[in-house]
Amino acid sequence: MMQNDTIVAQVTHPGKSSVGILRISGIDAKQVAMEILGKIPKPRFATYTKFLNENNEVLDQGISLWFPAPFSFTGEDVLELQGHGSPLIIDLLIKRILSIKNIRLAKPGEFCERAFFNGKIDLIQAEAIDDLINSETESMVKASLNSLEGSFSIYIRILLKILIKFRVDVESSIDFSEEINFDCNNIIHKNFKQLNSQFLKIKKIISDKSVIREAKKIIIFGPPNAGKSSLLNILSSRDRAIVTNIPGTTRDLLYEYININGFLCEIIDTAGFHKTDDEIEKIGINRAWEALNKSDHVLFVIDKTIDPKKQKEISNNFIKKIHSYNNSIKITFVLNKNDLLKDNFDIQKIGDFYFVSLSALTGQGVDILKKHLIKAEKYKDQVGLFVARRRHIHQIDLSYFEFLKAQKEWLKYKNIELLAESLSLMSKSVGEITGNFTSNDLLEKIFSTFCIGK
Ligand code: GDP
């Protein structure tokens, strides 16, 4: 799908640097080359040229690169100008280019968007480019590169292929039910089997090989004064949360990104839970429960110096309450202030839960907690990883849920129209991952989070 306007943006970071690169993409890129360079450079060759203004005066000089359509990143004619990285020169050049008819500034992510619309990359790969740029750990870089090369897309494409074949089989048995004489039930069962095995394969590779781009959300919760803010501070190695011995000091949520040996997580410190008459504190406590609902893991901090019976009562009450909010959240109990006791700094599994004895004040035992988090969150640092966004996993879950429903209904009612409808819903959910069936609104939302020049 060719766009009828041409876009320009600086692709290097704004600010002073040795080189500044501009990218121009679209049908009038040729015109830009003619006006700025006085010629169209030889395709895919680095050509040293002058960059000219309207009066043929030299604005700058540098390397120009010409990628004629369709053999370019966007699939359109692309001109790249590599000049000196002075913000003033870049600004003058952009102004000069914008004075040419039909040229406008690119929106964030618009080069990727054009590459997507022109079939150069799918949506997973476009997202991988953004993930690569925003990678905060080495494994994230490796995983984004794998996604960019299509290692996740391929599984989704196979799933879509199976779905399309299934739909063809089903639709043709609706359209020609009287003319076609085949064992419809048998074919449908075969298709169900094939689809199920591909869904399971994808779920397995997501669980074994995916790195979630969005950081894991780890929430710190517990009674006041147990040491929640001290734990946040020691985990993030910063004095960000205010630590006092006055209960209720953390009234709102505090967020901190931390990198534990390459494992990126977002730590949320909360007001904890307790009865209070302070209205502001009440809001903080409610927000904490809302945040718990959206978190992957809770570190429930207990002051280990208090009566063990009381500790047990607090932890049991929490377990009872949390499961009505979020029953997939992982729970780790942090027995804090262990420095005041003669106990070991260790981790113990009691029933279904882990208890880590540590001191958020001295730091003893904090490494045990970090190791435990890495293990519990299945952080991987191996080859063959790819990036999955929560969006991808959600779409797979949605379509697998529809699949199970369709299979059940087929066994019960043998209703081919109902099955056709379910298959269409599944294709839509899966297609949204790669962008085959993605609404314009969603596309706009995804690309608008990219940076300008990408
Ligand atoms: P929060 O209300 O749960 O956030 O608790 P804070 O982190 O504000 O800590 C409450 C008080 O306990 C402060 O005086 C801290 O210095 C103290 N404290 C926190 N962790 C420890 C610890 O591991 N050992 C000792 N001895 N004191 C601690």
Helix 123-133 to helix 110-117 angle (10° resolution) is 160
Give residue-wise pLDDT tens across range 415-446.
889 999 999 999 989 988 888 776 677 677 77
Show binding-site residues for GTP.
225-230, 244-250, 269-272
Q: Does 306 contact ligand 1 (Cβ within 6 A)?
A: no
Q: Going along 91-198, which residue ranges are E strands?
A: 103-105
* Binding site per annotation, positions for (6S)-5-formyl-5,6,7,8-tetrahydrofolate: 23, 80, 120, 454
Structure confidence at residue 239 (pLDDT): 47
Residue 17 has pLDDT above 50, yes or no: yes
pLDDT of residue 287: 74
Domains and CATH numbers, the chain: 6-106 (3.30.1360.120), 128-210+389-447 (1.20.120.430), 217-378 (3.40.50.300)
Residue 454: per-residue pLDDT: 72
Strand partners of residue 141: none
The minimum-distance atom of ligand 1 relative to the CA of 336 is: 23
**pLDDT at 217 (0 to 100):** 85
Q: Atom of ligand 1 at shortest distance to CA of 243?
A: 8
Q: Do 365 and 331 touch, CB atoms closer than 8 A?
A: no
- For the chain, what is the radius of gyration of the CA atoms? 28
- Mean pLDDT across 177-188: 68
Which residue puts its alpha carbon closest to atom 10 of ligand 1? 225
**H-helix segments, 176-210:** 184-209
Q: Is the pTM of this model over 0.85?
A: no
pLDDT for residue 410 is more than 70: yes
Name the residue among 365, 353, 366 with its Cα closest to residue 315.
353
Task: Determine the length of the chain.
Answer: 454
250 CB under 6 A from ligand 1?
yes
Which residue's CA is the nearest one to ligand 1's atom 20?
A: 227
Phi-psi region for residue 75, left (φ > 0), alpha (ψ -120 to 50) or beta?
left
Q: Write the DSSP assignment of 372-391 as a string of letters.
A: HHHHHTT----TT-EEE-HH
pLDDT band with cut points at 50, 70 and 90 for residue 205:
confident
Tell me, what amino acid is at 16? K
Per mean pLDDT, which of 149-153, 217-221, 255-259 is the most reliable?
217-221
pLDDT of residue 242: 46
The response to whether residue 340 sits with its C-beta less than 6 Å from ligand 1 reads yes
Find out whether the beta carbon of 186 lies less than 6 Å from any atom of ligand 1: no
Q: Which of 185-199, 232-246, 317-331, 367-381 has the highest mean pLDDT?
A: 185-199
In the predicted model, what is the mean pLDDT of residues 147-164?
A: 87
Whether the CB of 226 sits within 6 Å of ligand 1: yes
Q: How confident is the model at residue 191 (pLDDT cuts 50, 70, 90)?
A: very high
8 Å CB contact between 313 and 334: no
Find out whether the beta carbon of 339 lies less than 6 Å from any atom of ligand 1: yes
Nearest protein CA to atom 18 of ligand 1, as residue = 227
- The mean pLDDT value of the chain amounts to 84
Whether 395 and 160 have beta carbons less than 8 Å apart is answered as no
- C-beta of 17 in contact with ligand 1 (< 6 A): no
- Per-residue pLDDT, 399: 93
357 lines ligand 1 (CB under 6 A): no
In tens, the pLDDT along 233-267 reads: 888 875 454 445 544 444 456 777 777 776 778 88
Q: What is the per-residue pLDDT for 271?
A: 60
Q: Is the CB of 305 under 6 A from ligand 1?
A: no
Q: Is 243 in the pocket of ligand 1 (CB under 6 A)?
A: yes
> Does the C-beta of 365 come closer than 6 Å to ligand 1?
no
The continuous run of DSSP H or E covering 335 comes out as: strand 330-336
Q: Which ligand 1 atom lies nearest to the CA of residue 360?
A: 23
The predicted structure's pLDDT at residue 321: 84
Q: Return the residue matching tokens 């949506």.
A: 123
Residue 163 pLDDT grade (very low, low, confident, very high; cuts 50, 70, 90): very high
Give me the sign of the Cα torsion angle 61, 62, 66, 72. Answer: negative
Q: Single out the residue of 296, 304, 388 nearest to residue 338, CA to CA.
A: 304
pLDDT at 342 over 90: no
Mean pLDDT of 9-35: 93
What percent of the chain lies above the pLDDT cut of 90?
A: 46
pLDDT average, residue stretch 10-30? 93
Q: Ligand 1 centroid vs 235 CA: distance in angstroms?
A: 14
| Residue 58: Cβ-neighbour burial (10 angstroms; 0-12, 13-18, 19+) | exposed
Binding annotation for K(+): 225, 244, 246, 249
Q: 9 in helix, strand or coil?
A: strand
By percentage, how much of the chain surpasses pLDDT 70? 85
What angle do helix axes 416-434 and 123-133 make, rounded to 10 degrees? 30
Distance 364 CA to ligand 1 centre (A): 14
Is 181 exposed, middle or buried (CB count within 10 Å of its CB: 0-12, 13-18, 19+)?
Answer: exposed
Ligand 1 pocket, residue 244 CB under 6 Å: yes
- Decide if pLDDT at 180 tops 70: no
Q: Out of 220, 221, 225, 239, give the residue to mutate to test ligand 1, the one with the largest number of ligand atoms within 8 Å of its CB.
A: 225
184-209 vs 153-175: helix axis angle to the nearest 10?
Answer: 160
Pairing state of beta strands 263-269 and 216-221?
Answer: parallel
Question: Could you tell me if the CB of 270 is within 6 A of ligand 1?
Answer: no
- Runs of H (alpha helix) within 225-348: 228-236, 279-293, 308-325
Average pLDDT, stretch 448-452?
73
From the CA of 338, give the closest atom in ligand 1.
23
Mean pLDDT comparison of 237-246, 287-296, 410-419, highest-scoring range: 410-419
